Amino acid sequence: MNKLRINNSKIGTKDKFSQLLNEGWHEADLHVHTYYSHDVLPSKFLDPFVLYEKARQKGMKFITFTDHDSMDAYDHIGWDKEGLVPGVEIKIKDMKNVGHSIHVNIYELNKVQFKELMEIAKVKKDIFAFVSYLKEKDLPFVYNHPYWYDHGEKPNFRVVHKLLQLFPVTEYNMHRVWQKNALAMKLAEKYSKGIIATTDTHVGDIGRASTFAKGETFREYFQNIAEGRVYLNPKDLTTKMLRDEISTWVELIFSLDVVRLEKVVHTQIRALNYFINWFLRGAFEDYPLVRKAAERFFSSLAKSGAPAFCYLELQNVLVYKMNRQLRTVEII
């Protein structure tokens, strides 16, 4: 494949964003997780109330929480707070038409629609029925991080460009490496689809990446995005960003601000799950010196950047394999 280039015409600058806000544009981060997601720590800093106020302080007109297969955050915070847009991230694994799992963000849905969508995703497992339902109900929806796949799956990257044509908008995701984000942007351009820049944050880093568009209602805002009237404040995954995020995880795990103690954190890494849940359940509480030593060790390891470096090196290998599979697909 040729080296991909990001289309800078959609990417703003600090001065441009100030100008846009003065002209009545609005900023939002449309992919945010609370502690109601299975892979988010049960920390009070990740409570929907806390994240809502954080987004308000940052001047976000629209605020949404897109937890994995859950809308419990809205039962907790309320469904009608000012600027709050009900949202969810649903995973669907259609082996016949796709071959691997994909994630879809949906907005402005209610409890009944959520239940019906989960039925399609988990029972029918049919991406075409899923998208047809979204279009029938006129719900805004986004194809999240299109080159993502679940741990242990064999992804079918060749189908991504066909899938994206079913969606009004795709995503430039802060937790993906630049090559995958560049491909997502190229596909959006090729098929005249909208694109959003998001954090997909699991540690409360709301607004670090964001999307600017006009619209006094969320529906108007999303429609402008879908039609390409948008500026992005994007970020790509870097060693420093990942190092800082891992350090935040360590701090939250060892802190005393944990709530929802009954929760079991489930990430895609089995060993990490064991470690996190072990300490969340009070490992070594009767041995404070041992617990302190463990905290210092893992904190030093995280701050060294070694885990972040290893992860990004692995991503580079996976990108190489992805590119080999995509050589027969005309993207650019």
Summarize pLDDT for 311-325 with one digit per residue, the tens.
999 999 999 999 999
Lookup: tokens for 182: 């560049």
Q: What is the mean pLDDT of residues 2-16?
A: 75
pLDDT at 253: 87
Write the DSSP symbol of residue 3.
P
Strands (E), 101-185: 101-107, 141-143, 169-173
Q: What tens digit of pLDDT does each residue of 116-150 get?
A: 999 999 999 999 999 999 999 999 999 999 999 99
Q: What tens digit of pLDDT does each residue of 159-198 get?
A: 999 999 999 999 999 999 999 999 999 999 999 999 999 9
pLDDT at 2: 45
Residue reference for tokens 């072990």? 278
pLDDT above 70 for 251: yes
pLDDT at 196: 98
pLDDT above 80 for 329: no
User: Strand 26-28's sheet: what is its strand order?
Assistant: 26-28, 210-213, 231-233
CB count, 10 Å around CB of 263?
Answer: 16
What are the structural domain ranges in the chain? 8-237, 240-322
- The SS3 of residue 164 is helix
**Dist CA 111 CA 92 (whole Å):** 18
279-283 contacts, C-beta under 8 A, 24 or more apart: 279/253, 279/254, 280/41, 280/42, 280/253
pLDDT mean across residues, the chain: 93
**Dist CA 103 CA 93 (whole Å):** 9
pLDDT at 21: 96
Residue reference for tokens 């796949």? 149
Q: What tens digit of pLDDT does each residue of 19-77 get?
A: 999 999 999 999 999 999 999 999 999 999 999 999 999 999 999 999 999 999 999 99
Find out whether 149 and 101 touch, Cβ atoms under 8 Å: yes
Residue reference for tokens 């995973």? 91
Strands 194-198 and 169-173: parallel
267 pLDDT band (50/70/90 cuts)? confident
Of the CATH numbers 3.40.50.300, 1.20.140.10, 3.40.190.10, 3.20.20.140, which one belongs to the domain with range 8-237?
3.20.20.140
